[in-house]
Amino acid sequence: MAVQPTGFMGSPSELTKAVDKALVMGSEMDGGALKEAALAHVAAINSMDANGVATKADYQAILAGLGKAIASVPSSKVMDVYNSFGKVVNAQVPEYLMSSVQASDAMSAYSGLMEFKDVVKAAR
């Protein structure tokens, strides 16, 4: 397994700007969608099994709530967050994460993320 890289490589100013972009995006999210996502998280936490794992239904409810919240802001705001964090996250992080799982599982998760992205985009 690869050595775990330091997560952030940007300056404190760049990191602050990235966090600011995330806060701006969050401030523009639909309140009802945020509430739905928060309540889904609470429900999942309350019904976790002994290993701290949520049910598939609870996980899907969290993703649905987050998708609605993300879809409620302009794409430009979402991309501002993505691009600003891309400047401060160490480029070795993806490589490290990939080394910690089965490649087929990672690719399956990535496919799921792309499907989720498409659903969120279609909801705009």
Q: Give me the percent of the chain exceeding a pLDDT of 90.
A: 58
Band of residue 37 on the pLDDT scale cut at 50, 70, 90: very high
The confidence score (pLDDT) of residue 29 equals 96
Q: Which residues contact 40 (CB under 8 A, 6 or more apart)?
A: 58, 61, 62, 64, 65
* Comparison of pLDDT for 58 and 6, the residue scoring more: 58
- Please give the model's pTM, rounded to 2 decimal places: 0.74
Mean pLDDT of 4-26: 85
CA pair distance 91, 79, nearest whole angstrom:
18
**52 close to 104: Cβ distance less than 8 angstroms:** no
User: pLDDT tens digit string along 97-106?
Assistant: 888 999 899 8
| Structure confidence at residue 44 as a pLDDT band (50, 70, 90) | very high
Question: Residue 110, Cβ neighbours under 10 Å: how many?
Answer: 10
- Taking the C-alpha atoms of residue 46 and residue 42, their distance in angstroms, rounded to an integer, is 6
